[in-house]
Each structure stands twice: as C-alpha cells, then as structure tokens.
Structure 1
Amino acid sequence: MPAVDAPAFWDAALCPYVVILGAAPPGIPATSRFDPACWPQPAHRYSGPEGTHLVLGGGASFYRVWLRGARRDGPLAAIVPFDAMTATRLAALSDFDRWRRGASAPAAVPRPTAYQAQRLDLLLSILDLRQAARATSHAIASRLVYPRLATGRGAVWKASPERRRTQRLIREAEALAAGGYRALLSGRAVRQK
C-alpha cells in the first residue's frame, strides 16, 4: 500500500514534526477550536488511550497532529516540550499554523531535497529487497542500483567499484533501519554519500 494511502503515525517523543495539541488553560479564547472535519484535505486518524493522532494535508506536505486527550469542543493550545528538538518542534508548529490558516508561505522545517528523497527511496527499496528475498549484493546492484548496466559475475564483479558502492549502500540502509532513521525524524542532518 502506498505511503500516501496509509501514512505513518509517529511518536512525538522521537519525532519533533508531530504537533501536540491539548486542552487550553482557562481564559483562552474559543477561536482556537480544532475541527479536522472542516479541513480541506482528508485526515488519516488513529485513536488510542493517549488521544487521537491525525495526518492532515496531502501531496508533499503532511502534518502530523496528536490531539492529546483534549475535548474537541473546547479551545486548544500547542504543547511544545523543551528538549534537544525544541527548535524543530517550533518550526513544525509554525508550518502547521500557516497551513491551517491557508497561507502558502515557505516551510520553516527543512524538507529533503529531491536527491535526498530519491536516495532514501533507494535505501528503503534495498531494505525491502533484502528482507523479502535475502538478495545478494549482485542482485541488488542489478535490480536497483545499476539496472541498465551489466554488472558482471565472479572475479569481475568482486573487483568492481559497482560492488563496493552497492555494499556501502546496503550498510547505509541497514544502519538507517537499525536506528539511523531517528536522526531524520529529529531533524538532524544525515550525511549523504
């Protein structure tokens, strides 16, 4: 199923792009009500004991919201934890607020470049192929990394720079799966090779 049809719900403790909303303190004007049913794009929703998680938006811009146990009929306030990711959390909140108001201002949260997105897609495809078929580095090179290149066999393959690059990509994909993805979620730059 494509990610657009079933986007992931992220843990706000790990991902600063999740906007946390809760009941506003007394005295906050009622204009801060939140009704996702009135928003233009469909919301993907997950409700659990800790509240409701929503994915709003569409296309290249998704906004993840955690409606933390708040009543929907009362005013809401943003909850921004003070941690190592506070600056990214504030930028994500600012982006969300601009989108909520219908503004088309440029995003404050950095998005992956086209190259970075393509590279991440390649790394995820490598992981999928390794997991589904326990594919060799030669099979990964032939199918994903160098689909239009005859990669050779035996000693030719073992001595090739294509093999070394493919092995580096496999190690990078496995490191991403083993926890490196958290650097992406937290907004920290990840070295692109």
Structure 2
Amino acid sequence: MRRIWLRCDPAGVPLAALIPCDTMTETRLQAVSDLERWLRGMASASAVSQPTSYQSQRLDLLLSILDLRGERQVTSHEVARCLIYPRLDVGRGAAWKSSPERRRTQRLIREAEALSAGGYRALLAGRAGRQN
C-alpha cells in the first residue's frame, strides 16, 4: 500500500518535483519516476526493494499513529485503544502503567516519530530495518 497526499487534482495540474543533489539523488529520481508511472496507471519499474506485507502493515500502523497524534496531543493509552489494541480492554491507572501493551505502544510511538523525523529516508534508500 502506498499513501500519497496530493494537494491538487493530478489530472488537471502538472506536477513538479524538487530533488536535492545529495547522496540520495538517484533514489529520489527513481521515486519520482515511480510516482509518474503510477499516476499514469502503469506498474512501477523500480529496482528499489518493495516492502513485505508485514512491513507494509507496520508502516501503515506507524502512519496511522502519526495521523492520530498529528494535530493534538493524544495519550499513549488513546493510541493503544484506538489503533493497536482496538478489541482489547487495555486497562487504566496502575494496570496500564505496568502493562506490556503500554511498553509496546510507547515503542511504536517512538518509532513513528523517528520515521517522521527523517527515518523514512532509510526506507527510500532501500535500507530496511528498525528505525532509531
């Protein structure tokens, strides 16, 4: 799954891409090429490794966490209840503070924030794995 937010109708407006010339220029050019092919309804010709199903689901979860926490400060309890453990009563108070669900939720929030703060570049460069 790919998420793209275009602030205009791509069919009616020509798009532009600003690409810095740095160590990731080739990767960025390939990503723009893939986007252009996707907009025309064609399959990607990219040699950049595609994420596995698990990686795609995890990235989707991390993006959902960022979306939920985006404009307002949402507690880790709310993130757990809404996104990570929607069918589980995650508890309150001391039960929540000492739970493994809380620790996992906090790790996922930190990972989402690291992804937002620049960790996504490692994904674009084809370096899979845990973001610090």
The structure 2 residue matched to 1:113, chosen from 21, 31, 52, is 52
Which stretches of structure 1, 4 residues or longer, exceed 6 Å deviation after superposition?
A: none
Structure 2 unmatched runs, 5+ = none
Secondary structure, aligned partner of 2:38 = strand
Kindly provide the amino acid, as one letter, of the partner of residue 56 in structure 1: R
Q: Which residue of 2 aligns with 1:145?
A: 84
2:99 maps to 1:160: yes
The structure 1 residue matched to 2:19, chosen from 6, 11, 14, is 11
Kindly provide the amino acid, as one letter, of the partner of residue 36 in structure 2: V
Deviations 1:112-148 (A, max 9, x none): 0011011001001111111123110000000000000
Aligned-partner Cα distance in 1 for 2:63–2:83 = 11
The structure 1 residue matched to 2:37, chosen from 56, 60, 68, is 56
Query: Which one has a larger percent strand, Structure 1 or Structure 2?
Result: 1
TM-score, length-scaled by structure 2: 0.72
What is the Cα-based RMSD across aligned positions, in Å?
3.4
Aligned length: 118
Aligned-partner Cα distance in 2 for 1:60–1:152 = 47
The structure 1 residue matched to 2:111, chosen from 161, 169, 172, is 172
Q: Which residue of 2 aligns with 1:77?
A: none
Q: 1:126 to 1:4 in 2, by over 3 A?
A: closer
Largest Rg, 1 or 2:
1
Structure 1 unmatched runs, 5+ = 21-44, 46-53, 63-94, 97-107
Aligned-partner Cα distance in 2 for 1:147–1:60 = 36
The structure 1 residue matched to 2:72, chosen from 133, 155, 174, is 133
Secondary structure, aligned partner of 1:55 = helix
Query: Which one has a larger percent helix, Structure 1 or Structure 2?
Result: 2
Aligned-partner Cα distance in 2 for 1:170–1:60 = 34
Deviations 1:67-90 (A, max 9, x none): xxxxxxxxxxxxxxxxxxxxxxxx
